[in-house]
Amino acid sequence: MKIGILSQNANLYSTRRLREACEQRGHEAVVINALRCYMNINSVQPSIHFEGHDLVGIDAIIPRIGADITFYGCSVLRQFEMMNVFSINQSIAISRSRDKLRSLQLLSRKGVGMPITGFASKPDDVKDLIKMVGGTPVVIKLLEGTQGIGVVLAETQKAAESVIEAFMGLKANIMIQEYIAEAGGADIRCFVLGDKVIASMKRQAAEGEFRSNLHRGGSASLVRITPEERRTAVAAAKAMGLNVAGVDLLRSNRGPLIMEVNSSPGLEGIEHATGKDIAGMIIEYIEKHANKKRRHQQQ
């Protein structure tokens, strides 16, 4: 098969590992920068051009779309879908997961556990908004933030009010969540592929930090998850419609709570922590499902 990897940087660990896994299994891998693609949208023969050439013969796409190019990246991916190219994650599912508020509303509708969350444009009473999520301490998040950027822990009522008012003064979209103290600055990253959790790791925040992101100095270690945590992670990925997802959950006194569902989970931390060939598993999944789609189209 000819497999396209939609990535802006061919040297990133995840992109390199996916390319290696493709080639080890006898496939041709093509790294495609979505921002350098341009599209011919028509009802007869839609196409995508990249670096002056028509991208033809692509059998499957692995989207690794950065959060900062979600709109254009999903537009390119949608064009591939219009051309009947198999995508391991569809554009609509990626769009759902990237909209933090929408993703939480979808989890809520499916009854998946998550921290109590408040959202408002211009609340008449900031005190009531804080009270609604259980009072301080609270976590205040920018909707557009990634990798722990734009996330603030406000430990007192006065601090929370000040941060909320400051963000709103900048016309930023924010949400407020209850702080899960018993998690102890740790979360669990579950790597979901299809309907299974194929790997999981515990991420522990650095001393004096409450955000466990590896980009912010957090550490990763192998962890054994419970059947309930496994079911919750798979349910969260399915609520978004994602076949590949990094599901971040907190261990709370009332069970696992979903923090975020990531449609382009990094491979480096989880492969190193677990010793598993995650990239190879992804290619195996594509082999099975892309061929199934092709057989169905030929019938």
Q: Is 260 annotated as a binding residue?
A: yes
Residue 195 labeled ligand binder? no
Q: Taking the chain, what is the end-to-end CA distance rounded to the nearest angstrom?
A: 20
| Nearest alpha-carbon partner for 261 in 286, 236, 290 | 236
187 is in an annotated binding site: yes
Cβ 63 vs Cβ 264: under 8 Å:
yes
CA–CA separation, 167 and 177 (whole Å): 15
Cβ-contact 31, 2 below 8 angstroms: no
Has 211 been labeled as part of a binding site?
yes
> Binding site annotation covers 84?
no
Whether residue 150 contacts residue 142, with contact meaning beta carbons closer than 8 Å, is answered with: yes
Nearest-angstrom CA–CA distance, 294 and 299: 9
Q: Give me 205's structure tokens.
A: 């925040």
Cα distance between residue 79 and residue 165, in whole Å: 41
Q: Is 212 annotated as a binding residue?
A: yes
**Among 164, 120, 167, CA closest to 138:** 164
Binding site for Mn(2+): residue ranges? 248, 260, 262
The binding site consists of 141, 178-179, 187, 211-213, 248, 260, 262
Binding site residue list for Mg(2+): 248, 260, 262
Residues annotated in a binding site for ATP: 141, 178-179, 187, 211-213
